[in-house]
Amino acid sequence: MAIAAYLSPWEAHVLRGALEAAGIFAMVIGETDYMGNAGADARVLVREEDLRRALEIKRDALRT
């Protein structure tokens, strides 16, 4: 399930890293558009069973 979308792939990977540090499997998709341009719509995905905890981590990460 997608929990975030960013224009910048590095922002998506920062969130992915925070999620993985908390033990949640996460992946980033859509880092480039159909022409290979970076930052098209980088989305962070997590498993459905991790959604609630992942959203809490995302919220806490935005506070810092």
Q: How many angstroms separate the Cα of 36 from the Cα of each of 7, 16, 31, 32, 53?
A: 14, 21, 9, 5, 32
20-61: per-residue pLDDT in tens?
999 999 999 988 766 666 556 899 999 999 999 999 999 988
In the chain, the domains with their CATH numbers are: 2-63 (3.30.70.1530)
The pTM of the whole model exceeds 0.75: yes
Dihedral angle over CA of 45, 17, 24, 51, nearest 10: -40
Query: How far apart are alpha carbons 47 and 35 in whole angstroms?
Result: 29
3-20: per-residue pLDDT in tens?
999 888 888 999 999 999
Query: How far apart are alpha carbons 5 and 42 in whole angstroms?
Result: 5
